[in-house]
Structure 1
Amino acid sequence: MTAHIAGLGWVTPLGTDLVDVFARIGRGELAEVKAIANPETGRALSYLPVPMKSVEALGRNPRLRRASAISYFGVAAGRAALADAGIVMTPELAARTAVVFAISNGGVIYTRKFFDQIVKQGAHAASPALFPDTVYNAPASHLAALLGIDGASYTLVGDASVGLSALHFSAQLLATSDIEQVVVVGAEECDWILCAAYTDWRLARTPLAEGAAAVVLRRAGRWRVQTHPGATFLRQREAGAALAGVLGDFAGAKVERVIASANGTFIDRAEAAGLAMHFPNVPVLAPKQSLGESPGAGALMQTVVAALTGGCALATVVGFNQQTGAALITPTR
């Protein structure tokens, strides 16, 4: 599928400015690693937080006053992408706009707190104030409401590849409906229980990270994006072949830079194997080395980085849950 990106936005541990964060990634800077402890055992864990000053102004909005961090990040990134595109939302445009959210772990902070209350105090103690943000589609609901959208709103749940799945799904929406634009957002928040899980299950060697990224997808824009439905694999050793099959569909493209999803696990080897078959001499940039592993947001962060390279760039991703994908981003001017 083919569509166009009109605007970009992100909220990262390194900041929110597109040019500044891209430059820092290019220099190989690493966001500040913070410690977070398991309150039950005292076990120290590491993660890369988004400085709350980046989104604290949103707390003045009544709808977001009690929202979880993931909704703050997603709303901030979505609004930033619209601003970057120079788009002012009106009721008429809102009626022709869709929201598509990419989610991996969802509102894990409120979810953990909600069930912690149930386990320790009984079902009667469960807080109704926490429950709304435990559902996966809460961030999409918040963004859609704030933009005045009461129509198409979707949430896709998956592994670290879900951002590219959301991009492909959004391109399909543009091709098969009369909507004018899709605000595509991926977001992630961190809690100690999530950091413990990713550490124990060895899902990432780079620190787990918070953040969000967004693009505004239209039929015309500053970048042309060619999306792909991706391919699955059953065993980790098959991931490289699965990705190679996806990359084969981009063979012949004059790719100047690959934006990879390497995070220090089997994913690095799988990407290297797939790229060796089709793009063996193309320079590779792995932004997770600077931004950390942010599963729900990572693939769309790669997409933003690909657009900011200024040339023809290929974003590749291998997820830990048996999914691979890629997207080709080319400037139109």
Structure 2
Amino acid sequence: MKKILSIMLCIGVIISMCACSSGGKKEEGTAKESEGGDKGLIGITTSMYTNEGLTIMCDTIKEKVEEEGYQAVIKDANLDQAQQTKDVEDFISQGAKLIIVEACDSVGVKSAFELCNKAEIPVLSVNQILGDDLLELVTGSVTSDNYTAGYEVGKEVAKELDGKGKVCILTYDVAFVCRERGDGFKDAMAENEGIEVLEVFDGVCTEDEAMKKTEDWLQQYPDVTAIFGNNSNCGVGIAAAVRSAGKVDDILVANVDGLSADIRNMEDGALDVTAVYPMKELAAAASERAVEVLKTGKCGEDPRLKFSLCTIDDLDTYKEYWGIE
């Protein structure tokens, strides 16, 4: 009998050790977590964490809420709205106190917001533009004036083309932030009778896609004189294709975002015009509102921050802004 008890005891110890050593492993590349935070969990989900501006935004918010005693987890949906909705579901199941969403899809994100509302968890929208029906579902929204950014870039492009030229445009209308940039740029082009828009191609948001489409355009439209991209990824892709084709001096390249990669391309002559996203200011405003929501359950007036136009004449200012040596 003693032998049987001894064997059972050993088995129990082994099972206990296995239980302690298994589980709890974080899936690589999906979340950025923090230790501690006795006030509870804050979930942060973004459309593309690898984007420099969104990295700054998410990390700033994370740092701020951690200073207030919360635990913060960042999840990257990588442009997949279904994944982002699943990430929101995960935050809800973990009992998040607040969920901050930088949406992949300005329409498709609705189901994620509805889940938050059903769970009675406040949700803060950052960066992305939302329709009025979705704004009713969020506690607050922090955005920038993307239409004016696209319009001002378009005005500068028209000026540098002396009101004459042939232009191609990359858009990404599923994200209203990019749609507004494209709308602003197209409206600026329409004000110039001497400028012909050869093609508007929708659905491009990554560097590889933009580079491939630009390569196609350079074959299809050998007389193109300017190409516009809706974000920094597109700007980098367009610049790479134009540089590779040896047409840096022949084709004017423009975009919106003005992140550090854009500023470096401008320094090399591969990008001519951009509008610099006030990402540091947006991150600070979003952080303030996140803390305000956590403390009061609501936040103040939703800001729409202004971009700054940047050409080669402004290069030193924005090299300093992004810390480029």
Structure ranking higher in helix proportion: 2
**Higher RCO, Cα 8 Å, sep 6+:** 1
Q: TM-score, normalised by structure 1?
A: 0.28
Determine which structure has more spread, i.e. the larger CA radius of gyration: 2
Q: TM-score, normalised by structure 2?
A: 0.29
